Structure 1
Amino acid sequence: MSAAARISHPPLQGSQLAMGTLALSLAVFMNVLDSSIANVSIPAISGNLGVSPQQGTWVITSFAVANAISVPLTGWLTMQFGQVKLFMASVLLFVLSSWLCGMAPNIEILIAARILQGAVAGPMIPLSQALLLGSYPSAKSSMALALWGMTTLVAPIIGPLLGGWISDNYSWPWIFYINIPVGLFTAWATWSIYAKRESVTRAIPIDKVGLALLVVWVGALQLMLDKGKELDWFNSGEIILLTVIAVVGLIYFIVWENGQDHPVVDLSLFKGRNFSAGVLAISVGYGLFFGSLVIMPLWLQTQLGYTATEAGKVMAPVGVFAIILSPIIGKILPKVDARRIASLAFLGFALVFFMRARFNTEVDTVSLLIPTLIQGAAMSMFFIPLTSIILSGQAAEKIPAASGLSNFVRIMCGGMGASIMTTIWDDRGTLHHARLTEATGYASPAFVQNMQTMQQAGMPDQAAYAVLDRSISVQASTMAATDIFYMAAIIFLVLIGFVWLTKPKKSSAPVDAGGAH
């Protein structure tokens, strides 16, 4: 995409610049919003379509994985069709897939529509950034990036609030239908302003075998993680087959890509210590962060009785400090060792998850909000410094490939992190439920007292047992969630070590401030 991005067009001015900035920002906003708006709506979606909340999370993971796979193709597609045409196609197909999501009559069609939505969303983020940079004079490129990055931080605040409000007051399909007017306006405004600012195109080969292998092994791995619990893991022939396909596909993919002149992803980048350690830190950290964004609203709604709107209010403040601090971090980053800022981010995340590990069934809203606010501060010190480390020392021609590959791994780890964390949550919940149940029965004074109290209130034995079982389930699920939070806190502390394996060097590449998507 770098060659296309260098085509000389005069900067936009006046109303055209304002309209172009608005249109491109709305596209990014719509894209990022859709990766967070569904999180608080999963109980409503799964309940309406007759599946479990764990199966409902496939709506999130399918989008993330399809999005991750399409990101490395952006450069090739841009050279084939041009920035403007590809961006227009991405926006219009996103509108179409949003409509299909809302119309889905069952979970299978909804997941298929989300896969399409994630795939067409991939080019939208990098292309919006490239078009925006081309709209401003080079001296104002930092301001353009700041405006662009701000959009990616506002969307995670509005997403949970809007998703929760729509789910409670209307119906879940409207979380997808709201993309239609936004997308159509964006497409019209973009075409009217950028139609004559197309980048040059030229035919370049694409590694079809590498692309097919990428889809096969990533798809098989995600299916294995999503369906493992439902099919009893390796007691299922289907899970064993998916695992074999994923492992063999990955091995063939690595061997094939290393022998290609035009690989889908440039795996040679992993030979650099900055790149490999930086990508590992940002990807695992993002997987834990994204997984918590799925677990928290599910726990609040399915176990603590929160409405979708209330859960959205708890999750929304995550972007407050991110918005306030990101411009400050961007300004001081050139003067400070990026490893120090990234380490502070991981310490912040560790503190957040240690605080959440102390939650119980009686937790109040203020106690829920405090770590969410701190998490926003950690976010501001997470994406920008780590992206700077990953791109540092890269040759100019390698920057697009390095950015694309790091984003692919990060987004893929986000989807897989959500799958793994929901599976662990379910397994630990079952374990804690079994242990708590062992303490019940008429040999337990507390059990006898509770039963007698409910019987005296006129409750039949069967209803009393159901009330106690529900109480045990809530307690077990809460204990399982705090297990996950404690584990995440420890992993964040370990990741600091990988940050300090890098040796940051001066990089002339502009830092992608919008890593939050």
Structure 2
Amino acid sequence: MAIIFAEKLYGWRFWLFNLVLALGHMLVLFNAGSYIALMPHVAGDMGGVKPSFGTWAQTDFMIALALAFPLSRWLSGKYGAYRVWVAAFIAYAFASYLCALSETLWLFLPARILLGFAGGVTLPIGQSLLLKEYPDHLKLLGLGVWGLVTMMPFTVSFSIGGAIADELGWRYLFYLNIPIAISVAVITGSLLVGRGFERSYIGFDAIGFVLLAIVLGSIQTLLNQGNDFDWLDSPFLGWMTVLALIALPCFIIWELGERHPALDIRLFMHRNFAIGTTCLVVGFLLLQGILSLFIVQLQVLLGYSSFLASMVFLPMIILAVPVTIAMHGLTIALDARLLSCINLFGFAGVWYWIGWFDDPGSFDQIFWPMLMLGFFLGSFFVPLTRLALHGLSGQQELRAAEEAGMLRIAAGAFGITLQGVLMFRRTPFHQLHLADNFGGRRFASLDLLQEFSTRLNTSGFPSEAISNKLGLVIKQQAGILALSDTFLLTAYIFVGLAGLVWFAHPTYPYLHPKMRAEITDLRAEEIMEEP
């Protein structure tokens, strides 16, 4: 074991180091959210493929982001955290360049996957690099700053991404990544050049990692392409299903017998970890999925520009960050089950509230539910994290936080496609239901078709255009109703999660916690709170 000691950074070097680490961390998280506002633009520019095809680049990006977590820990122990950080951002800049130059989806997808993998490697490393430079009595302050850096991109990335798409073009999202990523790599390397590290000889579970990649990749491919290629009627998707069904039990059996597993399944034997992680994973699956679906449908269904659609989400920032700060103190004083239950019920109320909007022009009306959504987003991660990590300590606690974060990010990718599948299935149902109400087919005394046609005639519509207009109106209204269904179903599931948290053990308030134990707890929380 080679240990090389070096002085910590002081003065302007310390502050520059903080700024660069924050910038790099925000860059990765920002790209995870801002691309969602660009998806219709990307689909149209990649040969005019369907918007659902553009979604593949986001879901595959998030799967790569999740898979990089276990690899990051091993690479840091073998080569040193700052060296891996620098190399990852160089790879990030290169992947961004490939994304910006891609002319077809089949070139864009691999570049986007590489971008996610390079970014995912940096997520667990940045926090450890930051804390090594803080004295012990200021480490809690460093963690607080890191928490703000983590939450900010999730609330503003939609708006900035929409502005880039409308004003500059979607490719500039990736062009702008290049100088920022290179600057982060160069400045970090210059500040820490020659810095030694404590080499760790932890084995890497290569077989478990490959099996995990096969499971996540095959499931995500099935979800991505199911709607467009008729699910199991497609031979390729049939083979993907078989591959997932074979790889999943093999992965579980292998991990249970592995000393250093890629994903420690044994942690789920702890009741609080199992329940807390389930609520985090399912909650984030629904949250990421519904927000991604919402911003895309505002553009595709209601004709919003990317910037206008992204502005719908801007009110979230007003309450999200201050509530996140307050929740750290509340979870120390109160039972995390109570806070989690209130939060999940609040989420359910907001989803139900939005689910009853049916006015295509309700941009101003959506402000208040989005403001409350920011409040509950800020209070979502902290209590569930405290609940999941209760009873764990030391390295086991950090490992559990890393695994829960990885599973949550992968679930976010699944959620984007699952919510799209739900809307895709519900739209024809509502379209048929609406069509049945025209022409007296459902109520003989109520001829809505004649009333609608008369109004269009008086508005100057030619007779031959009325049927086409009627079809467009029915299609749009069916889409709005299907979108509402996704919000309502999400609300009901959140109510179920609110009840599930009470099956966990109570988290009693901490009495005079030691600094080191409190820092470990907060480090683990910050890892799990990364959107």
What's the TM-score, normalizing by structure 2?
A: 0.92
1:23 equivalent in structure 2:
20
Alignment check: 8 A CA contact 2:336 2:387 kept: yes
Q: 1:38 is matched with which residue: 35, 38, 42?
A: 35
In the alignment, what sits opposite 1:417? 415
Residue 328 of structure 1 is matched in structure 2 by: 326
Counterpart selection for 1:454 from 437, 456, 480: 456
Give, in whole Å, the separation in 2 of the partners of 1:138 and 1:366.
47
Rounded to whole Å, the distance in 2 between the matches of 1:348 and 1:436 is 32
* CA distance, structure 1, for counterparts of residue 210 and residue 364 of structure 2: 48
**Rounded Cα–Cα distance in structure 1 between residues aligned with 2:493 and 2:429:** 22
Question: In the aligned structure 1, how far is the partner of 2:348 from the partner of 2:101?
Answer: 40
- AA aligned opposite 2:353: M
- Is 436-445 or 381-390 further displaced after alignment? 436-445
Give 3-state SS (helix, strand or coil) of 2:313's partner: helix
User: Per-residue displacement from partner, 1:401-452 (whole Å, max 9, x unpaired)?
Assistant: 2122111111111100111001111111122112212333486722123224
Return 237-246 or 7-16, whichever deviates more.
Answer: 7-16
Given candidates 284, 292, 308, the residue that maps to 2:306 is 308
Between the aligned partners of 1:353 and 1:282, the Cα distance in structure 2 is 17
Aligned to 1:47, which of 36, 44, 48? Answer: 44
The answer to whether 1:267 aligns with 2:265 is yes
**Residue 28 (structure 1) shift:** 0.9
Deviations 1:207-264 (A, max 9, x none): 2211111111110000001111111123333222211211211110000111112211
Q: How many residue pairs end up in the alignment?
A: 514
Secondary structure at the residue paired with 1:57? helix
- CA deviation after TM superposition for structure 1 residue 123, in Å: 2.0
AA matched with 2:41: A
Q: How does 1:355-374 map to 2 (within 5 A)?
A: 355-374=353-372
User: Offset at 1:363?
Assistant: 4.7
Query: What does residue range 292-303 of structure 1 map to in structure 2 within 5 Å?
Result: 292-303=290-301
2-side partners of 1:350 and 1:136: how far apart? 40
**Which of 500, 510, 513 is the aligned partner of 2:521?**
510
| SS of equivalent to 1:133 | helix
In structure 2, what is the Cα distance between the partners aligned to 1:222 and 1:462? Answer: 44
CA shift digits 1:355-376 (9 cap, x unpaired): 1111103452232121111111
Indicate the SS of the match to 1:261: coil
Percent identity between the two aligned chains: 29
Paired residues of 1:283 and 1:409 also in contact (CA < 8 A): yes
Give matches, 1:57-96, under 5 Å.
Answer: 57-96=55-94
Residue 270 of structure 1: CA displacement? 0.7
The answer for unaligned runs of 5 or more in structure 2 is: 511-516
SS in 2 for 1:37: helix
2:175 aligned partner, one-letter code? Y
Partner of 1:136: 134
Distance in 2 (alpha carbons) for counterparts of 1:245 and 1:289: 28
Cα distance in 2 for partners of 1:460, 1:106 equals 41
Structure-to-structure mapping, 1:338-417, within 5 angstroms: 338-417=336-415
Q: Is the 8 A contact 2:285 2:416 kept in 1?
A: yes
1:13-33, Cα deviation, whole Å (9 max, x unpaired): 211111000000001110110
Structure 1 unaligned spans of 5+: none
Pair 1:465-2:474 in alignment: no
Superposed displacement of residue 159, structure 1: 1.2
Change (3 A) 1:442 1:327: closer
Q: Deviations over 1:9-58 (max 9, x none)?
A: 54432111110000000011101100110111111111222111122211
Secondary structure of the structure 2 residue equivalent to 1:38? helix
Question: Secondary structure of 2:229's partner?
Answer: coil
Alpha-carbon distance in 2 for matches of 1:431, 1:9: 66
TM-score by structure 1 length? 0.95
Once the two structures are TM-superposed, the CA of residue 87 in structure 1 deviates from its matched residue by 0.7
Partners of 1:221 and 1:468 lie apart in 2 by: 39
From 463, 481, 484, give the equivalent of 1:482: 484
Q: 1:79 to 1:462 in 2, by over 3 A?
A: farther
Matches of 1:394 and 1:456, distance apart in 2: 71
* 1:167-316 paired onto structure 2 within 5 Å: 167-316=165-314
- 1:156–1:316 Cα contact (<8 Å) kept: no
Q: Does residue 1:110 correspond to 2:108, yes or no?
A: yes
CA RMSD, 1 decimal: 2.0
Q: For 1:129, give the aligned amino acid.
A: Q
Given residue 262 of structure 1, which amino acid in structure 2 is its aligned partner?
A: H
Distance 2:30 2:196 in 1: 27
> How many angstroms apart in 2 are the aligned matches of 1:283 and 1:168?
33
Amino acid paired to 2:504: T
Q: For the residues of structure 2 that align with 1:276 and 1:398, how far apart are their CA atoms?
A: 14
- Say whether the 8 Å CA contact 2:397–2:521 is kept in structure 1: no
Q: Determine the C-alpha separation between the residues in 2 that align with 1:312 and 1:224.
A: 29
Q: Could you say what secondary structure the match of 1:500 adopts?
A: helix
> Aligned partners of 1:269, 1:8: CA distance in 2, in Å?
34
Distance 1:147 1:18 in 2: 12
Counterpart Cα distance in 2 of 1:405 and 1:8: 30
Label 1:400 to 1:236 Cα distance change in 2 as closer, same or farther (>3 A).
same
CA displacement, residues 373-412 of structure 1 (integer Å, 9 cap, x when unaligned): 1111112211112122222221312123212211111111
